[in-house]
Chains A and B, each alone.
Chain A
């Protein structure tokens, strides 16, 4: 296949931008650059670990339906696990975000990595909100009636009705975890492909002012 033909071939382009853009050692490394030696690096993997816990505990909660945790101590425990995983997830994610900011981690053509991280953060917030809406208790009732005004004011409430528990359940359990998952995987692949950004004063391009 000629190069011009290959450049128009969707399959070839996908292969080139994915499989051929990364060595197996990039995806599953057994070495790291020597400068990757700080506790701040732990918060990225802790965020992913908290997301794994969120999915796992969320799957347990799906087994008996949204009202299970109100009537079962076992269900209440798994709801608590889900709630505390959310709290940990956001704490880890925010520390990770600030750490990456002070590293200027967007250097070396890593802007897309930064932007996918911000998108993951924002979609996680929407996912968390829908989680609070489907608690089917007083808290969820109050949050639904308060949050509706913000969404309505922007014209979003006509399509995402916080008072519609059925809609919130489907968004929280199906669509939004899928969106967050895809963005997080994309973010991780970008990190693995570009590598961990080197220390700032080792950056040869600083002196020229380019990033």
Chain B
């Protein structure tokens, strides 16, 4: 006999013995033992954090090149837009300028925040004079100096400074060299983390500066297979399993049209938002909600119950 029931009504058919508290306690003990076993055997990764100090001491040419790029306005941070500055409108979603509309709520002007402000508190008369000369110049002149020096550094292999034979670099070499000295001592890390509050809890400025590096931060990440083309943030440093909940986000960055899109972040985040909404709305999608009936995996789940009826 097939027993038809209304699933919205309280079950009044046959029952079996059950102890919800005992089940819960056993489950916690099992998971605790599993986690303890995995922890003892595999531990967890802990790749030491990097600093502006370690960057300057490990790859000084890259530090100098990046700092010059901050003055020239050619780094990622310098051209980012909201929420840091007004340098760009940022990615858009059709007519929606979500990034721009949110506004500049975390002001960061890389040339000022990463270079001139820290140098202003650095006890170096030559650096202070160089900053004064920089600040007195027009934006156009500043750009010419910084771009000329960036170009000269780019032509010189692994150089931390280039002689100004044509008198084209202005105060830029002095500023960048002083910033390198400051960074090597660790003073720049302190300056950037305490520029807003004396006790640091916010690492926006040093991390943005580090992320502008092309020859240090990114290469360290690539060595740990954390690059965007290596499934990015889904991976874990070392040989530990990645973050299972991020695979779907990382997946889209590996396939077209997202892979080659300059607007990938907006597209992927929008797609994930849409997919999440779809997941929540499965019960009302006509096709999706019928799938469990058409593909009878429930026959396996309730195998004992169906056998019992026969």
Which A residues have a C-beta under 8 Å from some C-beta of B? 28-38, 40, 42, 45-46, 48-50, 52-53, 57, 69-70, 76-77, 79-81, 83-85, 87-88, 90-91, 94, 99, 101-104, 106-111, 114-115, 118-119, 121-122, 124-125, 128-129, 132, 135-147, 149-159, 161, 163-167, 169, 194-206, 211
Contact = CB atoms under 8 A, between A and B. Distances in A.
Nearest to B268: A150
Interface string B86-118: 000011000000110111011000000000000
A153 B269 contact: yes
A37 B214 CA distance: 57
Nearest to B304: A37
B135 to A, nearest CB: 27
Contacts, number: 295
B173 to A, nearest CB: 28
Contact of A128 (B243, B284, B289, B291): B243
Interface stretch (B67-75, B158-166, B221-229): B221-229
Interface in B41-90: 42-50, 80, 82-83, 90
B301 A46 contact: no
A152 B90 contact: yes
Interface in B194-251: 201-204, 207-208, 210-211, 217, 220-221, 224, 226, 228, 232-233, 236-237, 241, 243-246, 249
A165 B237 contact: no
Interface string B15-47: 111111101100110111011101110111111
Given A104-B298, A106-B289, A150-B268, A76 B46 contact: yes
Given A80-B43, A139-B224, 7 more contacts: A52-B31, A79-B44, A103-B301, A122-B276, A139-B226, A154-B270, A199-B298
Interface stretch (B2-10, B120-128, B143-151, B177-185): B2-10
A76 B44 contact: yes
A141 B91 contact: no
A204 B36 contact: no
B38 A84 contact: yes
B207 A141 contact: yes
B265 A150 contact: yes
Nearest to A94: B244
A19 to B, nearest CB: 17
B154 interface: no
B24 A49 contact: yes
Nearest to B8: A108
B231 to A, nearest CB: 11
B27 A211 contact: no
B13 A33 contact: yes
Interface in B230-286: 232-233, 236-237, 241, 243-246, 249, 263, 265-266, 268-270, 273, 276, 279-280, 282-284
B83 A28 contact: no
A118 B16 contact: no
B308 interface: yes
A28 B245 CA distance: 32
21 contacts: A30-B18, A33-B15, A38-B301, A49-B28, A79-B46, A84-B34, A101-B282, A102-B292, A102-B295, A139-B236, A142-B217, A145-B208, A147-B233, A150-B265, A153-B265, A154-B269, A154-B273, A196-B11, A198-B7, A202-B2, A202-B3
Contact of A200 (B16, B243, B298): B298
B292 A28 contact: no
Contacts of B102: 152, 155-159
Given A34-B16, A158-B106, A150 B7 contact: no
